[in-house]
Amino acid sequence: MAEETQENVTEAEATANGQEAEKENSEAAAPQSLEEQLAAAQAEAEDYKDRWMRSQAEFANARKRMEKQRLDTYSNATANVIDKLLPIVDDFERAMENLPAEISENSWLEGIQLVQRKLVATLDNFNVTAIEAVGEPFDPNLHEAITQEPTDEYESGTVCRVLQTGYKIGDRVIRPSLVVVAA
């Protein structure tokens, strides 16, 4: 019996709360003047327009960010592949510099030289250039000094020999030149 009385009290409270809420809603729904309705509609339209413009700006910024990330990813992937190919280029150069005289007239050597030229042409297609070093002032961004040696041919701080050619794509250094610097 006590439980039934408690349920009746709870239902009575809920009914009273519901009637108060309906009274508040009916007061809020009371007719407004045309000017008030127009002002409310204009404020709402301005809010929607502001939200739309912000969404458009966020979308444009996201698109630009994604395009920049895509270009960076492509550039990094290209640089990584080129970096893996550079030792092959070095091996070809060393082989051609140390070519024995007895095989310099063989026809298969022309095929090997053709492969080397194709590899260099492929690197050129990716805008890969060798870093010029001999006679240039030492630049730690482009060169890696292995040692210094005294020389009368170049002034101090100038690259006098290249031990390994460095390469770059555009302005980005893929591999610095290994150099000897004049002391």
Query: For 11-68, what is each residue's pLDDT tens digit?
Result: 555 555 555 555 555 445 556 899 999 999 999 999 999 999 999 999 999 999 999 9
Q: Is-contact 143 159, C-beta < 8 A?
A: yes
The predicted model scores a pTM of: 0.64
State how far the Cα of 146 lies from the Cα of 138, in Å rounded to an integer. 12
State how far the Cα of 35 lies from the Cα of 126, in Å rounded to an integer. 67
Q: Phi and psi (nearest 5°) for 156? A: -60, 135
Average pLDDT over residues 2-6: 51
